[in-house]
Amino acid sequence: MDLISRALPLLIRGLGITVALGVVSFAIGSVLGFLIALARLSGARPVRFAAVTYVSVFRGTPLLVQILLIYFGLPQIGIRLEPIPSAILALSLHAGAYLSENFRSGFLAVDKGQWEAAFSIGMAYRRVLQRIILPQAIRVVLPPVGSRFISLMKDTSLASVVTVVELTRVAEQVGSATFRYMEMFVIVALIYWVVNTILQIGQEVLERRLGRAY
Amino acid sequence: MTGESEYRIRVKGLRKRFKRLEVLRGVDLGVERGEVVVVMGPSGSGKTTLLRCINFLEEPDEGQVTVCGIDVPCGPGARRREQMRRIREIRMRVGMVFQQFNLFPHMTALENVIEGPLSVRRMSRSDAIALGERLLTRVGLSDKRDEYPSRLSGGQKQRVAIARALAMEPEVVLFDEPTSALDPELHEEVLQTMRALARDGMTMIVVTHEVRFAQDVADRVLFMDDGAIVEQASAAEFFARPQHPRARAFLRLVEHNQPSDPFAQPEVPAPS
């Protein structure tokens, strides 16, 4: 009990950092993934090539390596980022690559007749996307994107290796100071689990609402 | 905008290929205001592609398409932005009805119809709704205004699609095999709607195999084969005396397969 009361302020701070890392990276990653998906579907050839390469690289290498590269590698070429921005950059790029695949399959799931019908009444590309394609694609995309968000929440623990004091790092620090590793990691695991359970419930509510029959 | 203004649609030397396959090999066509042109021909003859080139769902490789006096500059030196602007202008004046309806499934019948007026014509919502209700009444579906497409029959869907095309108050409507995806007993409701539209003086190009419809309303029938218009005649002339051997063969085939004609007596009791 004593341990918990001493660790509690640190845990709360850590949780704040973890959630912030997850939410911010997810937001940036979503925008990135959305643009990449569009580029792959309708961009010019060099744009498509760049998009495919990006996705391939960030899906094909470990997130840990990406984080280390950004934090320890980039300073060598004169780009020096603080730990938290480094972690956010790596997590966003990583999530963006995966999310672009989800978005892409969502767009592709919408029948191309929908584009044609919308174009045939004179709608402009952006309008078609916004009014016709996205509302249909989102139903397809929500489950995999929700899972991606949850994975991302867990991936934030890797930020601990570049000295970001998020939940996992708090557990390590308190653990090494008190030799109560067992308790600390169990507590932290429980916190992750609760956060992700909340996310999962949120996703289910959203799915039910968007999935209403039409 | 004068000169060729009697033509709503003017197509010259239109060519289109998909990969190695040449789908249109030099098509010329003029459609005047108020004319109803029926396009027939075996599948793969290029009918649908011709239609889709007119509103630029397919971009022609060669030739010129002029719609309501608007042409789209092409070839090297043509600015993409200007092209897109012209294409959209054409699409605003040309409605299209698809074989597979392509209604927006996440919108009710009324919302489908008013999407164009709201998004493209920038109409106020109340004006758009008034227009949409009027059009749904015109196609006989005023009681379905709040239904989603999934709750409509094929014939009803296609009539909503016609109303959606009309909501742009187009000068021309293109029909791409509008009854081919429907059960035979649903053809007539769609054809009736199209007949009424023709009677009201709409300029129409209709790709269809419906011989009776063509006989009733077409001013002209085009017969396409292998990417070219091989015969062109008034409907009466075409069905009485088809000239091209492929047209003759095609008509024999189609007439035998006409969906249940309630007035026709079966010549021979169907075996089995």
**Running DSSP on this structure, what letter comes out for residue A168?**
H
Could you tell me if A209 lies within 8 Å of chain B, comparing CB atoms? no
Return the closest-CA partner of residue B230 out of B9, B46, B20. B46
> pLDDT digits over A122-173, tens only?
999 999 999 999 999 998 999 999 999 999 999 999 999 999 999 999 999 9
Closest by CA to A22, choosing from A204, A172, A148, A200, is A148
Cross-chain residue pair B57–A135, CB shorter than 8 Å: no
CA distance B261 to A168: 76
| pLDDT at residue B266 in the model | 44
Share of chain A above pLDDT 90, in %: 89
User: CA A149 to CA B55: how far, in whole Å?
Assistant: 42
CATH of domain B7-101+171-256: 3.40.50.300
* Beta carbons of B106 and A135 less than 8 Å apart: yes
Q: Do A214 and B106 touch (CB under 8 A)?
A: yes
Q: What does the pLDDT read at residue B5?
A: 57
Q: Which residues of chain B fall short of a pLDDT of 70?
A: 1-5, 75-77, 256-272
Q: How confident is the model at residue A121 (pLDDT cuts 50, 70, 90)?
A: very high
Per-domain residue ranges of chain A: 2-210
What are the chain A neighbours of B98 within 8 Å (beta carbons)?
Answer: 113, 116-117, 120
Output the pLDDT for position B101: 97
Phi and psi, residue B122, nearest 5°: 55, 40
What value does the mean pLDDT take over residues A101-125?
Answer: 95
Strands of the sheet containing B203-207, edge to edge, are B94-97, B172-176, B203-207, B36-40, B220-225, B228-233
* pLDDT at residue A174 greater than cutoff 70: yes
Q: Which CATH class is domain A2-210?
A: mainly alpha
Question: How many whole angstroms separate alpha carbon A80 and alpha carbon A88?
Answer: 14
ipTM over 0.85 threshold: yes
Tell me what pLDDT residue B20 has: 87
- Residue A193 identity (one-letter amino acid): W
Nearest-Cα distance to chain A for B95, in Å, is: 6
Q: What is the mean pLDDT of chain A?
A: 94
Whole-model pTM: value is 0.85
Q: Are A122 and B91 an interchain contact pair (Cβ–Cβ within 8 Å)? A: yes
Cα(A161)–Cα(A64) distance, rounded to whole angstroms? 8
Query: Over 70: is that where the pLDDT of A34 sits?
Result: yes
